[in-house]
Structure 1
Amino acid sequence: MKRVIATKLAGIALTSVFSVSAANAALINVTVSGPGKAAAEAAEAQFMSYLKESTTETFEGFTAATGAGDQTGSINTSVGSFTQLIAGGNGNDACNDDGFSCTAGLAVLNSATSPFGGRFPMPEGADNRNWLDSMDSQEMMFSIAGMYKAVGFYMTDPNDVGGLMDIVLEDNTTATYDMNNIFTGAESNGAAYYLGFISDVSIKSLVFRSNDDNDGFGIDNVTVGKVPEPGTLALMGLGLVGVGLMRRRAR
């Protein structure tokens, strides 16, 4: 059974998509801000208000990479690990600028030294300079540390994802989202969004699957959290805008 709710909430464009399997019921609430920094920051505040406990990784505690020698296949953080599953660049080590490489793995970048104009730290602030960059990965996985039903993050330059996002739940079923539907088509270079996901079962991992091996995206302020019980049922009355599609499949 699939249920989509479409309404308006305080001028913030949000996505709410629910898919319920009769054999293994799970409810996922998806929040996607409108484009732009102000809308993204407002959506983060809204998402955080749902949580009773949370941990946020800002990436400010990492030394930013300055070249391929600082990139790595996996980056461990306070909220989980980020791993490059499939490199981008179509095998071209030098596909990125200023000494970075598509095949050398992921990197934490800094606004003062990044070679990319479209990706940047979020939210805006003098004390926020770093973010996690996909480095044009065709597939990147975020494995969540612990049992959490909520995860949210900023995404910059999201049109470059242009493919699919898998959300793997604790029962090993997967919710798959078409990113073009979530972002409603092409986005300008440097666009910023906030995405939040809340499930009634724990979320194990997210996998970002790009359809472009020579372009990437940035992620910042990644939050994992717990919601009041029954948290996801309460969210059904919040009034969100439904624009995406989700399907569940067994793994």
Structure 2
Amino acid sequence: MGLKSNCDNASGACTNDMFARTAGSSGPFVTDSDLVAGQSYRMYGHLYKSQEGSSYDRFAVWLNPTAYEMNSLTTPDLLSKGASGLYSFDSIGFRTANLKGQVLTVDNLSINAIPEPGSLALLGLAMLGMGAARRRKSK
């Protein structure tokens, strides 16, 4: 997920600035992401694996998402697909290109793991079992 002025296109035919990709040096751009200097924007991303055991191959991004979109991870502004070759990672970096005097600042950065549905189901079963055991013990 990143920023490249005008789709990294010198002709200016494309004015979108926000993109997402899983590999390579170019990727699809978010529609209507012609960012204006001096304004603040919220960029929200969800990098995930579409199949267990695969590399990260989906990158959903939102530009100025609603609270509902951030909690439900629904209706991204862009979904980039493709094998990244990454199976895990332990660091992130920031890189800017072609911003021509613009400054990118990062504020309120939050990185969180999202539990897989199977993990949540297992936790629910464990809590149900503990509740049943406690109830049986109190009788």
Tell whether the structures are fold-level matches, with TM greater than 0.5. Answer: no
Q: Which has the larger radius of gyration?
A: 2
Work out which structure has the larger RCO, using CA pairs closer than 8 Å and 6 or more positions apart in sequence: 1
TM-score normalised by length of structure 1: 0.20
- Give 1 or 2: higher helix fraction: 2
TM-score normalised by length of structure 2: 0.30
- Give 1 or 2: higher strand fraction: 1
